[in-house]
Amino acid sequence: MYPDSLNRALLLSCSIACVLATRVSAGSAAGDSSPPNIVIILADDLGYGDVQCNNPQRGKIRTPNIDRLAAGGMRFTDAHSSSGVCSPSRYTLLTGRYHWRTRLQQGIVGVFGPPLIAPDRLTVAGMAKQHGYRTACIGKWHLGWDWPIPADRSGLFHAKPGPDDQPGEEQRSLWKAVFSQPIPGGPTTRGFDHYFGTDVPNWPPYCFVENDRTAGIPSVFLPRKLLRENQASLPGPALEDWTLEPILPTLGDHACDFISRSAQQAEPFFLYMPLTAPHTPLAVTPDWQEKSGLVPYADFVMQTDAVVGRVLEALDKSGVSGRTLVVFTSDNGCAPYVGVPEMERLGHFPSGPFRGYKSDVWEGGHRIPFIVRWPTVVGAGTSCDQLAHHADIMATVSEILGARLPDNAGEDSFSLLPLLRGGNQPVRNSSVNQSANGLPSIREGSWKLIFGPGSGGWGAGRDDLPAQLYNLTEDIGESRNLYNERPDVVARLTKLMDQTVANGRSTLGAAQPNDKPFDWQRFMREGSSTAAKSKTARKTKAAANPRTD
């Protein structure tokens, strides 16, 4: 991936010089040297095409507040999350490092799972905190905690309720003992001064968590009626009378309160707001039900947009909008099980022109809304078609703060500041994305190589070739697999992927270890085996049924 060591040193020197020059320019553009407040709003399962300004022809959901944010800033049209599912994308956004360099190379952090972010790993919040920011995380964490659950009794936290829907005395006693303790390993140990939210709103424990303690002691099972029709997903300990509809409005309340209080302080603030919506539970409040004219998911998108509007209003009322950098994005594409066929029948396409949905390695799984507003730097109503990634938030904030990332931080993060200031040269040459089951792809320019057949997620459709190559400039819908036609491109991208994995980073700097080996070629091996079997089966079938035409 790199030239010789001398060229690497020269490139690094030039890079640092460019960073310093851009930093001075950014400060001048802002009119002062004070760092901006930073607000990152991460929607959950919001498709690229669910945002009206991204999908004006084939989008039927009204999102006036997100559209207003875009009208005041820059809309990225080729931005990506690290994965087609939740936890991996959150890890990459907060650390600037591809999630597959960790233990999580497929799937998500499980119920009551351990922390994914290592204790010594620098996060974007930790970096901001080092530079004098007040930092808060308000919303869905889903990156694991060190839950103080005795290993030999963990079954009492995963057991389903009995016929009477009540926990046994031993179960209730253990729940009380565990939820009365601090919960280590959460956001306040990963760079945040304050946390408030629900770890995962459709999983236990069904309660809010504030800093490192549950807000109350869950003592009953969540009622069965809340475990159907795209509400909660799993039974487990809950607060008495816990309901799902207040979750999203309460997060909005806390975010607005944090902004109003922080705006009165001398130091800048950093707010990471990972929303619980429009992911299930589709707990739409009565004032938003049936407002979309589509399905409950679409109503929930509109309610989510309203919460974004509340946050923007809080910035306005506090008088800090002009000096606040706001990022709005989503962790992955829209989930196909929330009524996608019905919405498409009614003319709304949550993935816009892209193939696939949440979980898939196809574009609809990880090409996401990405909007940045920073009034003193970013031109209003602008758009950018350069490749961008959630990982890039880390280096962008680093450059804004004048900080130098150490070699063991932000290994896959490239600063977007040149693009935010109106430039149109690529800041990253490649991007790696992954499906729910771990199927990886690599992107370089127009080319995208998927290292296996199929979607790698819930999407249907595959062919007999062991891998997939698409030219996205000519085929944005990934409908024509060019794997056999362009072996030169396949070879180049395969080598690039190999180097990206082996170096432990995709940026300049000293090579870093991955947390565990990453067998990124296993899907191709399995795909080749499947293709061979399929070809043999077709030949056998043809011999048994000769053509007569």
158 and 136 fall within a common domain? no
Question: Phi and psi dihedrals of 301, rounded to 5?
Answer: -60, -45
Whole-number pLDDT of residue 32: 55
418 and 511 fall within a common domain? no
Count the helices and strands in the chain (H runs, E runs): 14, 18
312 and 393 fall within a common domain? yes
- The answer to whether residue 193 sits within a structural domain is no
Q: Is the peptide bond before 204 cis (omega within 30 degrees of 0)?
A: no
DSSP letters, 102-140, are: SS-SSS---TTPPPSS-TT---HHHHHHHTT-EEEEES-
Whole-number pLDDT of residue 58: 96
**pLDDT beneath 50, residues of the chain:** 1-31, 530-549
Quick check: 160 and 218 in contact, CB under 8 A?
no
User: Cα separations (Å) of 231 from 227, 272, 281, 336, 384?
Assistant: 6, 25, 4, 15, 36
- The answer to whether residue 195 sits within a structural domain is no
Of the three residues 425, 452, 475, the one that is the final residue of a domain is 425
Quick check: 194 and 211 in contact, CB under 8 A?
yes
Which residue in the block uniquely carries the two structure tokens 């959460």?
A: 186
Quick check: 77 and 316 in contact, CB under 8 A?
no
298 and 309 fall within a common domain? yes
- Element containing residue 370 per DSSP (H, E): strand 370-373
Which residue in the block uniquely carries the two structure tokens 């990022």?
A: 327
Whole-number pLDDT of residue 413: 98
Quick check: 263 and 221 in contact, CB under 8 A?
no
For residue 117, the Cα-to-chain-centroid distance in whole angstroms is 15
395 and 534 fall within a common domain? no
Of the three residues 370, 399, 425, the one that is the final residue of a domain is 425
235 and 249 fall within a common domain? no
116 and 261 fall within a common domain? yes
234 and 249 fall within a common domain? no
In angstroms, the CA 473 to CA 475 distance is: 6
State the residue range of the domain holding 163. 153-182+202-241
Q: What are the tokens at 120?
A: 């010594």
DSSP letters, 152-209, are: GGTHHHHPPP-TT----HHHHHHHHHHHTS--TTSGGGTT-SEEEE-S-TTSSSBS-E
Whole-number pLDDT of residue 60: 98
- The answer to whether residue 276 sits within a structural domain is yes
Query: What region does 172 belong to: left with phi over 0, alpha with psi -120 to 50, or beta?
Result: alpha
223 and 254 fall within a common domain? no
Whole-number pLDDT of residue 164: 86
74-76 and 37-44 beta bridge pairing = unpaired
In angstroms, the CA 120 to CA 124 distance is: 13
Whole-number pLDDT of residue 153: 94
In angstroms, the CA 437 to CA 359 distance is: 8
> Which residues are CB-neighbours of 108 under 8 A, at least 6 positions away?
85, 86, 87, 88, 142, 436
Quick check: 101 and 411 in contact, CB under 8 A?
yes
3-state SS record for 235-302 = CCEECCCCCCCCHHHHHHHHHHHHHHHHCCCCCCEEEEEEEEEECCCCCCCHHHCCCCCCCHHHHHHH
- The answer to whether residue 196 sits within a structural domain is no
> Which residues are CB-neighbours of 149 under 8 A, at least 6 positions away?
112, 157, 178
- The answer to whether residue 257 sits within a structural domain is yes
- The answer to whether residue 65 sits within a structural domain is yes
Quick check: 422 and 442 in contact, CB under 8 A?
no
Question: Phi and psi dihedrals of 434, rounded to 5?
Answer: -145, 155
Q: With 0-12 CB in 10 A as exposed, 13-18 as middle and 19+ as buried, what is 278?
A: buried
In angstroms, the CA 365 to CA 45 distance is: 9
290 and 412 fall within a common domain? yes
Q: Is the peptide bond before 119 cis (omega within 30 degrees of 0)?
A: no
Quick check: 346 and 60 in contact, CB under 8 A?
yes
Whole-number pLDDT of residue 464: 84
538 and 444 fall within a common domain? yes
Q: What are the tokens at 149?
A: 């659950």
177 and 90 fall within a common domain? no
- The answer to whether residue 331 sits within a structural domain is yes
- The answer to whether residue 189 sits within a structural domain is no
> Which residues are CB-neighbours of 266 under 8 A, at least 6 positions away?
none
CATH code at position 390:
3.40.720.10
Of 297, 256, 231, the closest CA to residue 45 belongs to 297
Is the CA virtual torsion 84, 87, 90, 95 positive or negative?
negative
Q: Tell me how many domains the chain contains.
A: 3
